[in-house]
Amino acid sequence: MEIRIIEREGLPEAIEAVTQTFFSGNRAEVERHFEGHAEGNSSTLLGYDNGELVGILTIRWDCRYPPFRAVGIPFIHYIEIKWERRGQGLGNQLMEYAERFAAQRVGRIGICVGIFDAYGPAQRLYIKRGFVPDGRGVCQGHRPLHEGETVVVDHDLLLWLVKDLSA
């Protein structure tokens, strides 16, 4: 996989390419996704296979999740592999490159994952790559859940994970 890193340079071209492949073609959503890149707050890795854009991964260097933010842990905010190319190891390759890239700047990196069945492949990938829960349990957004609470299982139920990049 060939990786193209988008930070301050190449934003217009990246927005165009990503709009054609991801975010259901919603250009406004893609433009929002790339906010902060020109200021150095985010980096996006675009993965190409034989010239075809097949994956995207974005690192937010200044994470909004309070426990990560408090100790300077950046956050893998977004990862997606083109639907028809999933199951070919491309997500693992993109994660490998992103972790090496992040390790040049920081010692740890975080990610979160949903807890219902659709997130099963991502859960397995992150655990195999050495991510571990941050110890706060399942959260609804940023808020840890407590015994006895009743919640709707949806995309807001998350498990926050962290990985030591120095190993």
Q: How confident is the model at residue 102 (pLDDT cuts 50, 70, 90)?
A: very high
- Identify the pLDDT of residue 3: 97
Q: How many CB atoms lie within 10 A of CB 93?
A: 17
Q: Is the pLDDT of residue 26 over 90?
A: yes
What is the number of domains present in the chain?
Answer: 1
- Residues 124-161: pLDDT tens digits? 999 999 999 999 999 999 999 999 999 999 999 999 99
- Percent of the chain exceeding pLDDT 90 equals 96
Instruction: Quote the domain boundaries for residue 50.
Output: 2-164
- Identify the pLDDT of residue 8: 87
Q: Is the pLDDT of residue 166 over 80?
A: yes
Average pLDDT over residues 50-75: 96
Q: Is the pLDDT of residue 115 over 90?
A: yes
User: The domain spanning residue 21 has which CATH number?
Assistant: 3.40.630.30
- Identify the pLDDT of residue 88: 92
